[in-house]
Structure 1
Amino acid sequence: MTPTWTRRAACALVAVLTVGLLGLPLDVDSAVAVPLPTAPPPAVTTPVTDHCPHKIATPPAVDASEVVAPGSPTPTPLPVPTPAVGGEDLAGCGVVADPAAGPVPPRLTSAGWLIADLESGRIIAAKDPHGRYRPASTIKVLLALVVLDELDLAAHVVPTAEDWSTEGDSCGMGPGGVYTVRDLLTGLLLVSGNDCANALARELGGVDAALEKMNDRARALGAHDTRAASPSGLDAAGMSSSPYDLALVFRAAMAEPTFRQMIATPTFRFPGYPRRPDVPGDKDHPPYDMYSTNRLLLDGYPGIVGGKTGYTDDARKTFVGAAERDGRTVIIVQMFGLSVDGDLYWDQAASMFEYGFRTDPAISVGHLVEPTAASGESSTPAPPQTEKRSLTTGSDQASATSVQILIGLVAALIAVVLLLLGLRLAGRR
């Protein structure tokens, strides 16, 4: 019979091996592994995209907003560029990050996101960077670029019934109002006015002409995941963009002083319009103070430059913005995300900015390409040489941990069996 002390020795050995191989804390006095405290299940589930569900097309629509009219063709998905624009590591669909930067922000609900340095174009970290998602009103940044190129900000715009009847968020245009292009562009960026988007598209030659110009500009920027199907960002068949593309578009817009000034404006007095005689009991509509939809700007997040929000039922929450600190400007993009209890989208955005600012400026997992002329092709200069580091993804880390645990358990079991066999043989002598 095996003595009691040998059984205790075997148990102690199991504990020691388990601790050493699995990394559990040990109570030395009792030689028993002390389990880690059981954490409550996380309230936020980060979408898994490692299997590239949105590499070709956007997530399925939840309503009929993208149903094409009878007799109209259904837009085909955009071609997927090969190699991936911005670097080979960006071809992946999971988290792309440098371990030297530490863990990426937790509790992010966006299926796709990106963090980049504005000046250098280095991408600090990303998730599904070229995944195709609906941009919602962040596409208005692309419209703003075209407006700044082609329209006189001081020119007057006469509104139409189609403008003030456009669905969704509104600047509050009305008949008899006197508006400049600057008024409409400011309203477009501050409160995401779809009425302003419609009026600006008309000034560019009509919706179809405006969309053609927007898509031409996207191609020139190297944004090959992007197709604007409505100037406002309202869901429409074929609408598509990606975290990488929105970063390209926003970076180009940030080079425009007027754009930077507008997105940094927390409030703006928008012109009113006279009473409508066709509406019984209507009164004059005086100018009013509109406020930015960017909560980081209104709440005074340190260093916030500005940004553009978006939301539709199909796109979910989207955001692209920039913040500056200690001479460094960081861009973030969020797509196909949500606010949940205890984890607001703005808190997620702030955590992404903080990650970007604390990361070594030399770290890069890819780069934002530089815009070119109207050829539609983008230059892809090699980023400055830095020390080569391995990149990790969430699935890689989980697989490595699982293998380590399995090896540890097998080794511990074999050691115990050999010890007990040795002790049993010794007891028979």
Structure 2
Amino acid sequence: MQGVPRLTPPPESPGARLVGGDQLATSGLAIPSSAPLPPAVTATSWVVADLDSGAVVGACGAHEYATPASVQKLLLAATMLGRLDPQQIVTVNDADMQYEPGSSSAGLVEGGQYTVETLWLGLLLVSGNDAANVLARLGGGAAGAEGGVQEMNAQAKKLGAFQTHAVTPSGLDAPGQFTTAYDLALIARACFADAAFRRYALTKQAQIPAQPLKQREGFQIQNQNSLIEQYPGALGGKTGYTDLSRHTYVGAAERNGRRLVVTLLGAEHAPQLGWEQGAALLDWGFAQPATASVGRLVDPAEFVVAPSPSPVDPAMPSAAEAHARKTAPPAIALGAAAACVVLATALRRRRRRS
């Protein structure tokens, strides 16, 4: 992985790990005391939460810094979906095509013309880095894609995702770019609250139109998120991968009127793919009672974010958040600096011996 920028976590901010409740502050596993152990996964951190109530059903390393890869495109969606006209026609320029050679693209062509809706489909179905650049440029106004990234960071703070900092709109690795499994759950919750996002995320295939002036034929793209084909009640989500980030994943599903979201970071593809690890954690989450909780996804209205020179300087939790920490149900909270799979496997062995 020569040349890959290593993650350098920012200085710890005192309030960052308290967001959502102090039971989530551990670097290890946090589950209700009555819950069985979750399935072993290779992800270094994960969160399972209720999209509607905001309850965090379980987590491992919820506030541990990691790099997002293409799940960062969800922050782009949460920021720009409501601002851009889906029927607007956009011409792709040279700057839009500046992304890592060989990385995922929607197959756009410089000088080609596409609707914004086509760009969203290219972004969410096949993780198009070209589409990400165009959408960030549109949303950034006069400041272009750089302005779009600034808007993404402002949106992260509005959502309470104080440990998230974007440098690229696509999630391609860059120094100073990071997020957490908890922050991703906040961002995903905002995305799934948008009807257009829900429709795009469940779209199985779409057409990238021909560009006659560029002598480019049209072609079909397929949704890369296998959850929507293979998991009953799937609502969609987003896959991600880079050499630095490894596999990252966000997925959501509905069962018996209950909607859960799973976020995971730093996973390997064996013995299970990222979406399969997400599906296993969703199964575990749905098996817990609706009242199960070790914390919660905060409401953006709870925070007043003061201007700060630091990209991650969270406002302190409100009085409501402090109350939630005091009244949250007991949980298993075990510190673990390594991957969650190590912790879960060790606990299983210990239980079998006892």
Q: Tell me the residue number matched to 2:202.
A: 264
Question: Matches of 1:151 and 1:334 in 2, distance apart?
Answer: 29
Give the superposition deviation at 1:386: 7.7
State the shift of 1:400 in Å.
12
What corresponds to 2:91 in structure 1? 158
Aligned pair in 2 of structure 1 residues 198, 117: CA closer, same or farther (>3 Å)?
A: same
Alignment of 1:210-229 (within 5 A): 210-229=148-167
The aligned runs of 1:167-206 (5 Å cut-off) are: 167=100, 168-203=103-138, 204-205=140-141, 206=144
Shift of the alpha carbon at 1:388?
3.9
Matches of 2:168 and 2:250 in 1, distance apart? Answer: 18
**Partners in 2 of 1:152 and 1:232 — Cα distance?**
20
Which is further off, 255-264 or 390-399?
Answer: 390-399
Matched-pair contact (CA < 8 Å) for 1:99–1:392: no
Q: Counterpart in 2 of 1:80?
A: 13
Q: Does structure 1 conserve the Cα–Cα contact (< 8 Å) formed by 2:9 and 2:65?
A: no
Distance of 1:263 and 1:86 partners within structure 2: 26
- The one-letter code of the counterpart of 2:283 is E
The answer to whether structure 1 residue 326 and structure 2 residue 256 are counterparts is: yes
Match of 2:295 in 1: 366
SS in 2 for 1:331: strand
Q: Is the 8 A contact 2:294 2:328 kept in 1?
A: no
Relative distance call for 1:383 and 1:370 in structure 2 (3 A) is: same
| Contact 2:227–2:251 (CA under 8 A) maintained in structure 1 | no
- Matching of residue 254 in structure 1 with residue 199 in structure 2: no
Q: Find the counterpart in structure 1 of residue 311 from structure 2.
A: none
Q: 2:5 aligns with which of 63, 66, 69?
A: 66
Q: Whole-Å Cα distance in 2 between the matches of residues 64 and 118 of structure 1?
A: 38
Equivalent residue letter for 2:39: P
Alpha-carbon RMSD across the aligned residues, in angstroms, is 2.9
Question: In the alignment, is the contact (CA less than 8 A) between 1:176 and 1:274 conserved in 2?
Answer: no
Partner of 2:334: 393
Inter-partner Cα distance in structure 2 for 1:394 and 1:208: 38
Measured against aligned partners, the alpha-carbon deviations of 1:292-320 in whole angstroms (never above 9, x if no partner) come to: 110111x3310100001111100000011
- What TM-score, normalized by structure 2, do the two folds share? 0.84
1:125 partnered with 2:58: yes
- The CA distance in 2 between the partners of 1:400 and 1:187, in whole Å, is 42
Displacement of 1:363:
0.9
Q: Per-residue deviation at 1:186?
A: 1.6
Could you say if the C-alpha distance between residues 345 and 91 of structure 1 is closer, same or farther in structure 2, counting changes exceeding 3 Å?
A: same
- 1:38-68 superposed Cα distances (whole Å, 9 cap, x missing partner): xxxxxxxxxxxxxxxxxxxxxxxx442438x
Specify the SS of the correspondent of 1:236.
Answer: coil
2:26 pairs with 1:92: yes
Q: Deviations over 1:361-404 (max 9, x none)?
A: 111011100113994357654559988434253879969998xx
Residues in 1 aligned to 2:204 and 2:232: alpha-carbon distance in whole angstroms: 14
Q: 1:305 to 1:389 in 2, by over 3 A?
A: same
- The residue aligned with 1:296 is 227
Q: Is 1:348 matched up with 2:312?
A: no
Confirm whether residue 312 of structure 1 aligns to residue 242 of structure 2.
Answer: yes
Deviations 1:118-160 (CA, angstroms, capped at 9, x unpaired): 1111111111000000011111111112222322221111111
- Post-superposition CA distance 1:263-305 (Å, at most 9, x none): 01111111222364xxxxxxx32221111110111x3310100
Give identity over the alignment, percent.
38
Distance across 2 between alignment mates of 1:170 and 1:390: 42
Q: Deviations over 1:324-383 (max 9, x none)?
A: 01100010011001111x433332121111001110111101110011399435765455
Instruction: Out of 380-389 and 223-232, give the one that drifted further.
Output: 380-389
Amino acid at match of 1:163: D
Deviation sequence 1:235-288 (CA, Å, 0-9, x none):
011000000000000001111111111101111111222364xxxxxxx32221
Amino acid at match of 2:44: A
The reply to whether residue 285 of structure 1 matches residue 216 of structure 2 is yes
Report what 1:232 is aligned to.
170
Please name the residue that 2:42 is paired with: 109
Q: Which runs of 5+ in 2 are unaligned?
A: 306-314, 337-342
- Cα distance in 2 between the residues matched to 1:390 and 1:161: 52
Q: Given that residues 65 and 180 in structure 2 are in contact (C-alpha distance below 8 angstroms), is that contact kept between their aligned partners in structure 1?
A: yes
Opposite residue 267 of structure 2, the aligned amino acid is: G
Between the aligned partners of 1:128 and 1:384, the Cα distance in structure 2 is 17
Q: Distance in 1 between matches of 2:159 and 2:166?
A: 14
- The structure that has the greater radius of gyration is 1
Deviation at 1:76, TM superposition (A): 7.6
- Whole-Å Cα distance in 1 between the matches of residues 296 and 129 of structure 2? 32
CA-to-partner distance for each residue in 1:164-208, whole Å, 9 max, x for gaps?
352211111114422111111121111110001111122123122
- Over 3 Å counting, the alpha-carbon distance change for 1:160 and 1:349 in structure 2 is same
